[in-house]
């Protein structure tokens, strides 16, 4: 089916303007979430296709040179949006160097025909290829929105390739913007698909980022940045089930900051908050990636050490305890000494063990540590004999 080419141009411009209006209506036209640059791209896209509709009725400077420069600018904004949404540094100079090249080439070649058509198509193809590349490289692990960007960029590459092949094949006249034929209809109609897939893909990417941030807020303690009580308990259940399946030991430690109430009473609650943050950062830097650390409640932390035998578990907890005791928290120029007591349970979880039961055992050991003077760690005896040939991942200080 052959469509009227200027009408297709007008349709693409209408779609782009509609997408901009939708962004404005929903009130998400903010710079920090990447949607501002998406909106700028859509406006440039719409203006470009309005200029295309004027081909044959306005000068080539407007209907071709300005139009292609605007379209190149739109693609540059789409590329920048990918970086903004993923909260990555935007290489503005590199991204917008292509629209600058497009503008320069159009100014030099506007009075030609084949060269200007070929150069404009090649520059736009390079930009579409970059969109596909960066959408793939910055894809979120569980995200799907980047697939729309890759599809939109790939479809645009097909449409531009049709133009390039027609130009190289000597059918330049068939690809004029005021000519209607099958190749032209297919090539130009792809612009509608491009606008919709690129803009929707970017908007959904921003939505995925917001949802990911909300999930992180739901799982993280706002003060320390550690896993909150619910999240660390979920992690503990996962580690228990894995330890049961593989018959490997799991160490569970309850850590309690000594005399925390006195710190709050003497220095104030802001100082107490600073102590909690200091301990969380200090311990987090000294644990393996497979270990789990969360704020269990108040001044208590729950530590999980998968694949760690009793000797290794005590070595880890003692190293943490000693390093905390040797550190000093400065609050308004005044030093605050900090220490913690720890209770440790380490064994291969039994089939009927659950999180409450194991935490209760670690709590019993913690009570012993406090009763014996604080700033020390205690472990309940193992209930099962661990194999002598157990090979476990070590720690940097061992």
* Cα gap 336→137, rounded to integer Å: 46
* Cα gap 328→324, rounded to integer Å: 8
Token duo for residue 319: 């190293």
* Cα gap 355→367, rounded to integer Å: 18
Identify the residue whose tokens are 């606008």. Answer: 195
The residues that bridge with 55 in the sheet, in sequence order, are 58
Q: Which residues contact 59 (CB under 8 A, 6 or more apart)?
A: none
Dmax (CA) of the chain: 93
Q: What is the dihedral of CA 276, 280, 282, 288, to 10 degrees?
A: 170
- Given a contact cutoff of 8 angstroms between Cβ atoms, the answer to whether 355 and 321 are in contact is no
Residue 348 DSSP code: P
Distance of CA 157 to the CA centre of its chain: 27
Residue 66 DSSP code: I
* Cα gap 31→36, rounded to integer Å: 5
E-strand stretches of the chain: 250-257, 292-297, 300-306, 328-331, 334-337, 340-347, 377-379
C-alpha closest to that of 206 among 88, 101, 85, 99: 85
Mapped onto helix, strand or coil, the DSSP state of residue 247 is coil
Q: Catalytic residue at 299? A: yes
* Cα gap 64→47, rounded to integer Å: 12
- 111, 142, 238, 299: the catalytic one is 299
* Cα gap 185→163, rounded to integer Å: 11
Which positions are catalytic?
299
């Amino acid at each position: 089916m052959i469509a009227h080419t200027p009408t297709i141009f007008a349709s693409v411009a209408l779609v782009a303007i509609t997408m901009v209006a939708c962004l404005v209506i929903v009130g998400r036209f903010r710079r920090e979430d990447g949607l501002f640059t998406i909106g700028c791209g859509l406006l440039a896209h719409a203006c470009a296709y309005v200029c295309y509709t004027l081909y044959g009725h306005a000068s080539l400077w407007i209907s071709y040179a300005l139009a292609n420069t605007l379209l190149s600018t739109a693609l540059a904004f789409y590329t920048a949006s990918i970086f903004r949404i993923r909260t990555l540094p935007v290489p503005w100079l590199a991204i917008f160097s292509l629209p600058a090249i497009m503008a320069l080439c159009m100014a030099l070649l506007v009075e030609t025909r084949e060269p200007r058509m070929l150069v404009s198509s090649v520059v736009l193809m390079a930009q579409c290829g970059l969109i596909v590349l960066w959408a793939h490289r910055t894809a979120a692990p569980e995200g799907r929105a980047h697939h729309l960007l890759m599809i939109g960029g790939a479809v645009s590459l097909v449409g531009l390739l049709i133009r390039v092949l027609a130009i190289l094949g000597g059918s330049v006249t068939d690809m004029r913007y005021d000519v209607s034929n099958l190749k032209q209809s297919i090539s130009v109609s792809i612009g509608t698909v491009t606008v919709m897939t690129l803009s929707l893909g970017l908007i959904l990417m921003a939505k995925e980022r917001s949802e990911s941030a909300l999930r992180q807020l739901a799982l993280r303690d706002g003060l320390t940045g550690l896993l909150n009580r619910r999240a660390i308990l979920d992690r503990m259940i996962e580690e228990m089930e894995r330890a049961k399946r593989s018959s490997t030991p799991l160490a569970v430690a309850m850590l309690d900051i000594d005399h925390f109430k006195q710190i709050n009473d003497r220095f104030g609650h802001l100082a107490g908050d600073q102590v909690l943050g200091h301990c969380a950062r200090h311990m987090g830097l000294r644990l393996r990636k497979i270990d789990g650390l969360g704020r269990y409640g108040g001044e208590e932390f729950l530590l999980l050490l998968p694949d760690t035998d009793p000797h290794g578990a005590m070595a880890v907890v003692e190293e943490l305890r000693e390093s905390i005791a040797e550190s000093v928290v400065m609050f308004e120029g005044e030093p605050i000494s900090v220490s913690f007591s720890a209770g440790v349970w380490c064994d291969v979880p039994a089939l009927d063990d659950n999180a409450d039961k194991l935490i209760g055992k670690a709590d019993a050991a913690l009570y012993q540590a406090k009763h014996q003077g604080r700033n020390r760690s205690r472990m309940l005896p193992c209930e099962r004999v661990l194999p002598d040939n157990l090979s476990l991942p070590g720690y940097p200080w061992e």
